[in-house]
């Protein structure tokens, strides 16, 4: 055997294989892992041209795999105004929010008539209730169409210029599956929009340039992520990333999901790829069945304790796609062997996905396997048994326990809030749950995600479901081999084993050995994609 191109020696290698084996060193040849073992044995393999990386006691893990995020949506956001409250950002009041928008307008030298956008808006955690309306935006920014994206991505606030451009005028009815919030005592829209009143005209609002896409993907690499999802892509966005992969290559692999409204056209164009495709691949179709729990639009069977975002009472959230349409979409996907990924935050949305899945089977369609309910948050534990029975694999979102946990307690009460993203229960039933960032909804950092799955502690210091805490080793699996399994590429990715792709990350410390609260502070020092460095601190 020829000498390896690269060896990493003198450290701890968490292989994340079936036995969670621990080694000391790893060797890579032509982008493939060719040996895993002791420090002495791997050193002996080195040749004159071998790059030797001395770990000096540091830890190597498989490249992190983000099983749900938004590359095409997140990339153009980078240059716009970040409006996050603590712990992500520093916006605490409406005055600070408006100041941040003015500063961004000046920084970008945005000319009149062009879009002013802010993202990460979270009024629930602002000190002054965070109320922003069209009237306020009209006064502050009379020359620009203004969009403020709620931290959930499922709603936001716009000014009158934007409302009128979409026909949202006094007296307009709510669209099916959407809410237009009104000024008190009137039928006049106040600028706050949710779900189907918001999503249709913001999904393609900002298109990413090639430079922005590459910058976004390099940001994933900086956090040790070597495979990432573009979780709600238009056909145009799919083609943009595919062209970029063919022309310059991508620093990390991208798995695109075609948004449900373009499924038929994507099938006609033959856009879907085989599961083991490397580089960029169109993995499946994305359904959006409900909204967000922090935005009070997740579709739940037991009503919200705090009512709806527009002051509604006896509120159960919103179903974005009706049951008949969901049945037809899942059936069409299964008939064509297309993997289904469905945004399901609430238990009623999970029920809708299960009903659509069973309707597709009753219609004679064979599921291709590993249907993925994305988020699986405010769900009933017995629904995990349905996942097992139907071959579903949930993609969970444990960072909600940290950033939004206190809000969930207010919205749902402790019993439901403590059960969100029930990762431990899922693992105990033999499922392979994953954990995702949903960027730009929450930060990319996989070590923070890992910490939240182990700690489940809110910013207010409340443990959001002690019984659903997992071990660090289990949390690491959710970010590596389990994610590869959901993508149906576990034979090539997700663990450090001979014959697999050499996607590797060097960490400053061992996440399964340090104290729990130290996990989130571990630094990514180097990221290898197919044995090539794509990030170095």
**Quick one: pLDDT at residue 275?**
67
State the Cα angle at 163 between 160 and 164, rounded to 5°: 85
CA distances from residue 32 to 58, 88, 158, 487 in whole angstroms, order as listed: 21, 37, 49, 19
The two counts, helices (H) then strands (E), for the chain are: 19, 24
Helix (H) or strand (E) holding 148: strand 146-150
**Quick one: pLDDT at residue 37?**
98
CA distances from residue 162 to 96, 172, 502 in whole angstroms, order as listed: 23, 15, 48
CA gap 296, 316 in Å, rounded: 8
CA gap 70, 57 in Å, rounded: 35
Query: What is the pTM (predicted TM-score) of this model?
Result: 0.94
Instruction: Return the exposure string of 13-52: e unless at least 16 CB atoms fall within 10 Å of the residue's CB, then b.
Output: bbbbbeeeeebbbbbbbebbbbbbbebeebbebbeeebee
For the record, the structure tokens of 427 come out as 């693992």
**Quick one: pLDDT at residue 276?**
66
* Contact present, 59 and 506 (Cβ < 8 Å): yes
**Quick one: pLDDT at residue 206?**
84
pLDDT tens series, the chain, 537 aa: 689 999 999 999 999 999 999 999 999 999 999 999 999 999 999 999 999 999 999 999 999 999 999 999 999 998 999 999 999 999 999 999 999 999 999 999 999 999 999 999 999 999 999 999 999 999 999 999 999 999 999 999 999 999 999 999 999 999 999 999 999 999 999 999 999 999 887 777 888 899 999 999 999 999 999 999 999 999 999 999 999 999 999 999 999 999 999 999 999 999 998 766 778 999 999 999 999 999 999 999 999 999 999 899 999 999 999 999 999 999 999 999 999 999 999 999 999 999 999 999 999 999 999 999 999 999 999 999 999 999 999 999 999 999 999 999 999 999 999 999 999 999 999 999 999 999 999 999 999 999 999 999 999 999 999 999 999 999 999 999 999 999 999 999 999 999 999 999 999 999 999 999 999 999 999 999 999 999 999
State the Cα angle at 368 between 363 and 371, rounded to 5°: 95
- Which has the closest alpha carbon to 209: 75, 15, 404? 75
> Any long-range contacts for 493-496 (C-beta under 8 Å, 24+ apart)?
493/62, 493/63, 493/65, 493/227, 494/16, 494/62, 494/65, 495/15, 495/16, 495/17, 495/62, 496/13, 496/14, 496/15, 496/16, 496/17, 496/23, 496/26, 496/33, 496/36, 496/60, 496/61, 496/62
Structural domains of the chain, with CATH: 6-57 (2.30.40.10), 81-202 (3.10.310.70), 210-492 (3.20.20.140)
């Amino acid at each position: 055997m020829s000498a390896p191109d690269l060896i990493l020696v003198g450290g701890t290698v968490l292989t994340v294989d079936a036995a969670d084996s621990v080694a000391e060193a790893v060797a890579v040849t032509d982008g493939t892992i060719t040996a895993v073992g002791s420090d002495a044995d791997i050193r002996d393999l080195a040749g004159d041209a071998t790059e030797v990386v001395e770990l000096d006691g540091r830890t190597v893990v498989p490249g992190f795999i983000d099983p749900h995020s938004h590359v095409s949506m997140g990339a153009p956001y980078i240059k716009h105004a970040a409006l996050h409250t603590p712990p992500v950002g520093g916006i605490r009041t409406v005055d600070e929010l408006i100041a941040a928008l003015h500063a961004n307008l000046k920084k970008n030298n945005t000319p009149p008539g062009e879009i002013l956008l802010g993202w990460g808006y979270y009024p629930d955690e602002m000190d002054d209730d965070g109320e922003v309306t069209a009237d306020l935006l009209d006064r502050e920014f009379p020359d620009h169409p203004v969009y403020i994206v709620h931290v959930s991505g499922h709603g936001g606030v716009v000014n009158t210029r934007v409302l009128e451009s979409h026909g949202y005028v006094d007296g307009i009815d709510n669209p099916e599956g959407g809410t237009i919030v009104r000024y008190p005592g009137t039928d006049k829209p106040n600028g706050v929009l949710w779900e189907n009143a918001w999503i249709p005209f913001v999904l393609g609002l900002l298109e990413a340039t090639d430079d922005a896409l590459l910058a976004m993907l390099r940001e994933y690499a900086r956090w040790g992520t070597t495979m990432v999802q573009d979780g709600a892509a238009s056909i145009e966005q799919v083609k943009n990333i595919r062209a970029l992969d063919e022309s310059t290559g991508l620093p990390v692999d991208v798995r695109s999901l075609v948004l449900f409204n373009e499924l038929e056209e994507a099938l006609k164009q033959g856009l879907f790829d085989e599961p083991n495709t490397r580089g960029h691949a169109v993995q499946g179709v994305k359904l959006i069945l409900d909204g967000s729990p922090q935005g009070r639009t997740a579709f739940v069977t037991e009503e919200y304790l705090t009512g709806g975002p527009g002051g509604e009472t006896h509120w159960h959230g919103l179903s974005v796609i009706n049951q008949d349409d969901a049945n037809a979409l899942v059936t069409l996907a299964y008939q064509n062997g297309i993997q289904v990924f469905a945004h399901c935050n609430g238990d009623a949305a999970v029920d809708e996905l299960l009903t659509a899945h069973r309707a597709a089977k009753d219609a004679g369609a064979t599921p291709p396997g590993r249907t993925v309910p994305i988020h699986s948050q405010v769900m009933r534990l017995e629904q995990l048994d349905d996942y097992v029975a139907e071959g579903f694999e949930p993609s969970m979102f444990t960072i909600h326990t940290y950033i939004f946990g206190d809000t969930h307690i207010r919205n749902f009460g402790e019993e439901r809030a403590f059960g969100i993203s029930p990762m431990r229960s899922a693992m105990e039933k033999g499922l392979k749950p994953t954990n995702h960032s949903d960027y730009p909804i929450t930060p990319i950092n996989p070590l923070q995600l890992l910490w939240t799955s182990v700690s489940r502690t809110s910013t207010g210091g409340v443990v959001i479901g002690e019984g659903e805490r997992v071990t660090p080793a289990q949390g690491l699996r959710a970010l590596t081999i389990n994610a590869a399994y959901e993508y149906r590429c576990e034979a090539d990715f997700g663990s450090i084993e001979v014959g697999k792709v050499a996607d590797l990350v060097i960490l400053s410390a061992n996440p399964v050995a340090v104290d729990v609260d130290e996990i989130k502070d571990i630094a990514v020092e180097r990221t290898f994609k197919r044995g090539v460095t794509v990030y170095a601190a």
